[in-house]
Chain A
């Protein structure tokens, strides 16, 4: 998948002029607060992803606007398999109001999930820093993205599970309820929860294999990586029977607590080095390198199972890494992938890539300069790139 351009209208501080991209590497540089992350966020929204900075749409709109638009022009790469879900080239985008969001693909209004499936993209942003060391929610989301790539029905089962859980939680929170009503939602949780669990197990197995391969490519210093899905249910047993048994045996604890205590919504994925949690041993730079390995593994899995290479965006990619690690990162980037990297240190990172691409300098939401990754500056060149 290749994004040729992005046009933003009334979106944060971004200029309405189209941003044209290189099919391989786009290194977006600029000082803090100039719009680098806004540009990545606009790309993410145009592919049906959520904002990685806010859940309040109003903050995405330029001051004084009631609606923002972000529109990407895309094309399937030559190596991508023809897809039933998307035209070979077209436009994808999103119209954002203070309380609403409408997603479009080639002029047709489509569900957010349809757009995500059509334009696969993987992002690493500040919110992902918690993926390995923070609460389990981000890890579950990452595993669900892989499960969705392996089997798109995962999304439907997940939605059904969450709806059944919300209904059961509402019943448990009440003073009195019909026990038969609770039983039917518990059963719905078991059926959809078992489907979720089975797909997450497959996703973790696949991710573990790929993660070890990517960690090796990045020369990650801990070779004995283990990925473990932590679940209330027996990791090997029949998922449906396990969940039924847990609800039957420990249901009284939920009734006493008046909330849902068991089920796949509490799943976690632990990354271990041998039997020790990796985050207890690795430095913050090493944890960030592992996050990159995880993301590259996700990209490889999506590309293998969907036949389309997702694009990869990495915000503030050089933070916490020294020159040696940056060089490893540059060497490990997979071939044929379109990349969007941001950095506040143009002069520090410009020399590490040997691949084709452009450096885009952003200032006050506009493109100030554009220069090929190697060779002399071309048509437009901002002051920082000249320096």
Chain B
């Protein structure tokens, strides 16, 4: 039996997403092996993040100011909103430096099996946002390309088109730099269906 305080640390680490018993044990040993100063830095970073971060009241992305920097940045294109499932998706799209519009984080995707319906997502606040800011002309739906993400995209498309806004979806296809022979059949079929003229 491990000492009680070590067992407690393992239990807390195992609660984290993607961490199983083996990973929890490895991380716990690492945290105890590093200097007290280093582990204090981790504790302090966690406390600071908890104290300072919240969710933007406009787009629901993670932020230290409310509204967030993207929602208040005058250089961003106010005509364009990208709808994503979760806050990390904003960071992913920002890394591309291609998208200069604003965001809306749904907080998940429709999943009736887990009891998640439109009322459990920030769909209502998206519709309100469009009503309050009629300058928005295009909504890019960037939900994940799986059954739930696709259903959420279709649902939003139905709701948004009623408001006369242009609705687009991220394209599906081949990864850049990949060879055709390594593409799986479904990705290749979707690439063919979504081919464009050059």
Q: Does B28 count as interface, using CB distance less than 8 angstroms?
A: no
Q: Is B186 an interface residue (CB 8 A)?
A: yes
Known: A160-B147, A180-B158, A180-B159. A185 touches B112 (CB 8 A): yes
Instruction: Given A167-B113, A167-B147, verify A152-B155 contact (CB < 8 Å).
Output: no
Instruction: Give chain A residues whose Cβ lies under 8 Å from the Cβ of B152.
Output: 184
Tell me, in angstroms, the Cα distance from A160 to B150 when the chains sit together. Answer: 11
From residue B25, how far is it (CB to closest CB) to chain A in Å? 17
Measured CA separation A177–B154 after assembly (Å): 16
Complex interface residues of chain B between 116 and 143 (CB less than 8 A to chain A): 117-118
| Residues in A whose Cβ lies below 8 Å from that of B192 | none
Closest-CB distance, A126 to chain B (whole angstroms): 32
Determine if B110 is an interface residue (Cβ-Cβ < 8 Å).
yes
Interface residues of A in 157-187 (CB under 8 A from B): 160, 163-164, 166-168, 170-171, 174, 177-178, 180-181, 183-185, 187
CA distance A170 to B113 in the complex (A): 6
**Size of the chain A interface, CB-CB below 8 angstroms:** 23
Tell me the nearest residue of chain B to A84, going by C-beta: B181
Q: Are B151 and A185 in contact (CB under 8 A)?
A: yes
* Nearest B residue to A167, CB-CB: B112
Instruction: Type the 1/0 row for B56-86, where 1 means its CB is closer than 8 Å to any CB of A.
Output: 0000000000000000000000000000000
Residue A59 at the chain B interface, CB threshold 8 Å: no
CB atoms of B151 and A170 under 8 A apart: no
Which residue of chain B lies nearest to A171 when distances are taken between CB atoms in the complex?
Answer: B112
Complexed CA–CA distance, A179 and B185 (Å): 33
Say whether A181 contacts B113, CB under 8 Å.
no
Question: Counting CB contacts under 8 A, is B165 at the interface?
Answer: no
Q: Taking A153-B189, A178-B117 as contacts, is the C-beta distance between A167 and B111 under 8 angstroms?
A: yes
Please state if B158 and A177 are interface contacts (CB–CB under 8 Å): no
Complex contact B118–A164 (CB within 8 A): no
Bound Cα distance A156, B185 (Å): 10
- Give the number of residues in B that approach A within 8 Å (Cβ atoms): 20
| CB of A332 to closest CB in B, whole Å | 34
Q: A153-B185, A166-B113 in contact; A184/B158 too (CB < 8 A)?
A: yes
Distance between Cα atoms of A167 and B113 in the complex (Å): 6
| CB < 8 Å neighbour of A164 from B115, B147, B158, B159 | B147
Given contacts A156-B186, A170-B112, contact A187 B154 (CB under 8 A): yes
Residues in B neighbouring A180, C-beta threshold 8 A: 155, 158-159
CB neighbours of B150 from chain A (8 A): 188
- Cβ contacts under 8 Å, A171 to chain B: 112
Name, among A152, A185, A188, the residue most crowded by chain B CB atoms within 10 Å (CB to CB).
Answer: A185
Partner of B151, one of A152, A153, A174, A184: A184
**Contacting residues of chain B (158-196) with chain A, CB-CB under 8 angstroms:** 158-159, 184-186, 189
In the complex, are the beta carbons of B113 and A153 less than 8 A apart?
Answer: no
Asked whether, in the complex, the Cβ of B151 is within 8 Å of the Cβ of A164, the reply is yes
Nearest A residue to B114 via CB reads A170
Q: Do A163 and B147 touch (CB < 8 A)?
A: yes
* A174 CB → nearest B CB, Å: 8
Contacts of A151 in B (CB 8 A): 185
A178 to B159, CA, bound (A): 11
In the bound complex, what is the Cα–Cα distance between A188 and B146 (angstroms)? 11
Q: Mark B96-121, 1 if CB is under 8 A from A, else 0.
A: 00000000000000111101011000
Please pick, from A163, A183, A188, A192, the residue contacting B158 in the complex, using a CB distance under 8 A: A183
**Interchain Cβ contacts under 8 Å between A and B, 21 examples:** A152-B185, A160-B147, A164-B147, A164-B151, A167-B110, A167-B112, A167-B113, A168-B112, A170-B112, A174-B112, A177-B112, A180-B158, A180-B159, A181-B112, A181-B118, A181-B155, A183-B154, A185-B112, A187-B154, A188-B150, A188-B154
- 6 closest residue pairs by CB, A with B: A170-B112, A184-B154, A163-B147, A153-B185, A167-B112, A184-B151
